[in-house]
Structure 1
């Protein structure tokens, strides 16, 4: 690894800590949701809808964070927006672990206390929404084109690694303890543990630079050139700076959202929708519950969740190693096929009432297929496909839609499962098939192209559409 590559990787590693916190925050609920049900839902006499909303409450914040990410990325910059996300993670971790702070009595659940808990989860969700949108933008704008897919995919690796870390943390906290202790105290430690990586993220962000493309938008060309030179070397840096300046107007925020046609926005939105409608976060949020329904004990279900997390890490690494070699579209299509096999397999097992080791195998096939494809590649494409002039707002829309779809799928899962497990998993399998058709027909290949070249691709598509309408 040469000096330039080491510099780029070190910056990417710091930014990707946002991905780790993204994964940590979204998966911490998997170990705590059973205890939250006992502590809040059951004690207050609430039903499955309230349980689903509580488990998924952070996603409301994710939607908000996604929606405002474009504004903050444009007004504050990529770096300062990530620092804001880190602060929100810290507040959420401490508040979720002790929602009684100042206003309530510990050990006395009330509706107001449940609302306070959900408020802190929403705060963390806003941090996740910001990080999920801005981390890929930051890495995509820093990374050289030849290795951009690999570096943005590394952000997804950190998301999955964050999930794996919290699976171990949750298991370590609950292991050897009584269920009564976990339901009263253990879940608090699970949420509080997130403060440690959040503080580290905030500190390290102070040491990395702003992205060159944002600096050019702010008319700080010399600072942008200095960073580009460190990353690409002097001759190439000057050429890249010229390309950036040619594709960024004097006021980038004034560019109309549909300046490059509606198709680029539609593709970004559908990438986000399909990534969630295939049902991945059901497997991640409710993993211990799914394994318990297969007959596993509480400790065993968390251990099986760790096994699933390890599989996810391995297959995310496969995506990182192949995304710049094989391209984005082939990985997405192969992943969709694997996910459909996994989910239709789980569906058939549910219809046959044959829950057992076969179900575990199909879930692993499903999650492994997702992690080598839609998990990292969706974020790679969202960071790549939008032109410079509309990237902040377009990514914000795509990410907000993604979290809205996530919330819909996750919050409806308990109710859908009460109706029919087979139909629920069959629906996710059908979405996997449709996702493959969507990629085949509409998604452009971005392998090896600079962000400025992608802008020309969409401009040409828009012109071709105009020509076809005239004919």
Structure 2
């Protein structure tokens, strides 16, 4: 690491960008504490099916797909910073609207199909914010981070996602603690959603004080502004060298900004990284955590508390990834995590077939989630932020992230119906996907440790 690097400034920019990750985690996990209340209020109140329940719980993911798909367009047209500001506004609107979906048009507390549609609309709005933040927060970090610590800094975004989930698990538990189920189903779930407005507002305000990324500025022809930011991050000598590398890649790719300009294989690798991250079943564990623990015999308060314990495990093992990603490399961590996830899910599936419910199931859930958090959780985002060349990064990340959210929606919305058919088979499926993910990484994914984004272009050209 070069002595002139301004680590304090780099960490400050990273911290602001990772608030997008925190809101990503907060928004996607807030439903875990509220989904049974939504089921009681809207789904059972309207005599709808388990499919409607799964679709409502997962409705934000439709917005995530949209947000991911348009993230490249916004990042290219508005820039990375302004796109994150759009996401902050969407988070804020969704938080208030999801908690008060009756606003203006409907009678409060009365379940109607119109109210169900409105609730889903606000969740989709938040999902668009999540889709944008999930693509652009790691993109922003990758474009301001020095190569030697880039993996660690992008991994902080995953830490923020998990920390956001842990915060909202604690918030949900605090709201539900000591309250009657009638109060939770009538009022408590509203507080859970509206609590997100606080970090969303903070994110929007702090974004006013950070710069655009130097790589985006250079691609837009603002060389002086890019050099100023690079100088503040890396020191003058390194800044000039980095800017020269950026300019050479931009000139080399002039007229080749089409997403397939560097071949199909890098796009396929990005898509498969995203799809496998979801097909291993992690969001089932995150979205339905309290319900899973209740099915093991835990009371409602205890199931919320066990979810917080799981959240702490997630944070600890994400820190393991942060400390090792730039030392061990990306591929070893991914393969190790895939093996651990396979062991966890296969064991949970076997216990489900044997109808064994107890502490052993909790242990294997923790093994599974810990394995994910030290590997596929952060490292997938690191690689998506690294492997795509400068000229196509916005568009390519948008494709990969849209694929990720489409896979997320498929896995999350089918979970209730799959569990009705066979719990054991459901968990075995996720275990098989974990095994396939290890084979994919071993055979197809390049190592990116220690390489600058510009050096990565040479690696991609050899794929």
Same fold (TM over 0.5): yes
Q: 2:383 is matched with which residue?
A: 381
| Whole-angstrom distance in 1 between the partners of 2:148 and 2:28 | 31
Corresponding position: 1:81 with 2:115: no
| Whole-angstrom distance in 2 between the partners of 1:169 and 1:30 | 11
Question: Which region of structure 1 is more displaced relative to structure 2, 450-459 or 439-448?
Answer: 450-459
Corresponding position: 1:437 with 2:439: yes
Q: Which residues in structure 2 correspond to 1:214-233 (within 5 Å)?
A: 214-233=216-235
How far did residue 250 of structure 1 move?
9.2
| Whole-angstrom distance in 1 between the partners of 2:51 and 2:259 | 37
Partner-residue secondary structure (3-state), 2:48? coil
How far did residue 391 of structure 1 move?
0.5
Corresponding position: 1:106 with 2:124: no
Q: 1:131 is matched with which residue?
A: 133
How far did residue 234 of structure 1 move?
0.7
Corresponding position: 1:38 with 2:40: yes
Question: Is the 2:214–2:227 contact (alpha carbons within 8 Å) kept by the matching residues of 1?
Answer: yes
Q: What is the CA deviation profile of residues 184-215 of structure 1, one whole-angstrom value per residue up to 9, with x for unaligned ones? A: 00000000000000000000000000000000
How far did residue 460 of structure 1 move?
2.5
Shift of the 258–390 alpha-carbon distance from structure 1 to 2, 3 Å rule, reads: same
Equivalent position to 1:276, from 269, 275, 278: 278
Question: Is the 1:25–1:124 contact (alpha carbons within 8 Å) kept by the matching residues of 2?
Answer: yes
| Whole-angstrom distance in 2 between the partners of 1:150 and 1:44 | 48
Question: Is the 2:345–2:428 contact (alpha carbons within 8 Å) kept by the matching residues of 1?
Answer: yes
Corresponding position: 1:287 with 2:293: no
Question: Is the 2:4–2:234 contact (alpha carbons within 8 Å) kept by the matching residues of 1?
Answer: no
Question: Is the 1:97–1:192 contact (alpha carbons within 8 Å) kept by the matching residues of 2?
Answer: yes
| Whole-angstrom distance in 1 between the partners of 2:172 and 2:413 | 22
Partner-residue secondary structure (3-state), 2:178? coil
| Whole-angstrom distance in 2 between the partners of 1:102 and 1:385 | 47
Question: Is the 1:136–1:383 contact (alpha carbons within 8 Å) kept by the matching residues of 2?
Answer: yes
Q: 2:152 is matched with which residue?
A: 150
| Whole-angstrom distance in 2 between the partners of 1:208 and 1:331 | 32
Q: Which residues in structure 2 correspond to 1:165-180 (within 5 Å)?
A: 165-180=167-182
Partner-residue secondary structure (3-state), 2:110? coil
Q: 2:329 is matched with which residue?
A: 327
How far did residue 279 of structure 1 move?
0.1
How far did residue 256 of structure 1 move?
2.0
Gapped runs of 5+ residues in structure 1? 462-471
How far did residue 249 of structure 1 move?
3.7
| Whole-angstrom distance in 1 between the partners of 2:240 and 2:257 | 25
Equivalent position to 1:406, from 404, 408, 421: 408
Question: Is the 1:249–1:389 contact (alpha carbons within 8 Å) kept by the matching residues of 2?
Answer: no
TM-score, normalised by the number of residues in structure 1: 0.97
How far did residue 387 of structure 1 move?
0.5
Give the aligned CA root-mean-square deviation in angstroms. 1.1
| Whole-angstrom distance in 2 between the partners of 1:264 and 1:332 | 18
Q: What is the CA deviation profile of residues 438-460 of structure 1, one whole-angstrom value per residue up to 9, with x for unaligned ones? A: 00000000000000111111112
How far did residue 260 of structure 1 move?
1.1
Equivalent position to 2:338, from 336, 344, 360: 336
Q: Which residues in structure 2 correspond to 1:293-372 (within 5 Å)?
A: 293-372=295-374
Aligned length: 461
TM-score, normalised by the number of residues in structure 2: 0.98
Q: 1:259 is matched with which residue?
A: 261
